[in-house]
Amino acid sequence: MQDMDMEERLGIKISDDAVDDIVITISKDSMRIDVVENKFYLHGDARANYKDMEVQAGTIIFDQASGIVSAASEKDTAGKVVSVQNFKQGTEQFSFDELNYNFKSKRAIVRNAKSQYGEGFVHSEQVKRNPDESIYGYRNVYTTCDLDTPHFGIRANRIKVIPGRIIASGPANLEFESIPTPLYLPFGLFPINQKQSSGFILPSYTHGAAQGIRPAGRRVLFLPSMNIWALQ
């Protein structure tokens, strides 16, 4: 019935393989519909809802034919970001600069994402989100500092997050004020705290004159080889 009403009101033909729920769109400034290309353009505090998922951004473009929503920040004349970008689905939530989400495949590519896991945060230059909610991250920093530019963290080029289970990382390095320390992890597995909905259990560190900086208390499992990054 919703599809029929939309076809009658807007003159847009709903394809047979379109997403099964109509996306609810809200925009503070403007909304434009391209009837020829079957696309919706929203500007200014734009929001797109699909089932339990919500995307908020300065600009949102929804391609009805492909089922892909593209969201990005809005900037003023000085190049300063003036909009809020946020993705929320169930208990998962993260901020971003750019997002492309396919409603049909449930896959997403995100740029400059900031995700929270328990009391920790993961900053990633690029994230691939899979239908099972597992995540591949590229150029990441994990930290408990809540600032957009954290004072400290563990930096790893590649990570994989399996929700509720574990974080797998490639080579990683502890850093302070973006300056690397001598502590280097070739490969590692970091169990996720099962007492919380999400969050990393990371090793603590001690410093001694003889041994320098070293892990203390918790164990880190090192893997000799692991291919965890695959966007293809």
Burial class (CB in 10 A: 0-12, 13-18, 19+), 21: exposed
Which tokens is 63 given? 């391609």
Q: Is residue 179 part of a domain?
A: yes
Identity (one letter) of the amino acid at 213?
A: I
Residue 152 lies in a domain: yes
Q: Is 18 helix (H, G, I), strand (E, B) or coil?
A: coil
The strand pairing partners of 49, in sequence order, are 24, 54
Length of the chain: 232
Tell me what pLDDT residue 192 has. Answer: 65
Q: What is the pLDDT of residue 97?
A: 92
CATH of the domain at 91: 2.60.450.10
| Domain membership of residue 72 as a residue range | 2-216
In a domain, residue 221? The reply is: no
Identify the residue whose tokens are 């280097």: 184
At 226 the pLDDT is 35
Stated as kind and residue range, the H or E segment containing 6 is helix 2-10
> Which pLDDT score, from 0 to 100, does residue 16 have?
53
AA letter at 189: L
pLDDT of the residue at 89: 81
Alpha-carbon 40 to chain mean position: 23
Q: Which residues contact 118 (CB under 8 A, 6 or more apart)?
A: 193, 196, 197, 198, 199, 200
In this structure, is residue 225 part of a structural domain?
no
| Residue 102 lies inside a defined structural domain of this protein | yes
Number of folded domains that form the chain: 1
Question: Which tokens hold the place of 120?
Answer: 């920790």
First to last CA, the chain: 37
| The residue to which tokens 């169990």 are assigned | 191
Q: With contact defined as beta carbons under 8 Å apart, do 89 and 168 qualify?
A: no
Q: Which helix (H) or strand (E) holds 8?
A: helix 2-10
According to the model, what pLDDT value does residue 124 have? 94
The residues pairing with 92 across neighbouring beta strands, listed in sequence order, are 89
- Kindly state whether residue 125 falls inside one of the protein's structural domains: yes
Q: Does a structural domain hold residue 197?
A: yes
Element (H, E) at 127: strand 120-129
Alpha-carbon distance of 170 to 189, in angstroms, equals 9
CA angle 124, 126, 129 (to 5 degrees): 100
Answer whether residue 223 is part of any domain.
Answer: no
> Would you state the pLDDT for residue 6?
43
Question: Helices then strands (H, E): number in the chain?
Answer: 1, 18
Residuewise pLDDT in 10s, the chain (232 residues):
444 444 444 444 445 555 666 566 777 788 888 989 889 899 888 888 888 888 999 999 999 888 899 999 988 888 888 888 999 887 778 899 999 999 888 899 999 999 887 677 889 999 999 988 889 999 999 888 888 889 998 899 999 988 777 778 889 998 998 888 888 888 877 666 645 443 333 444 454 555 544 545 444 433 333 333 333 3
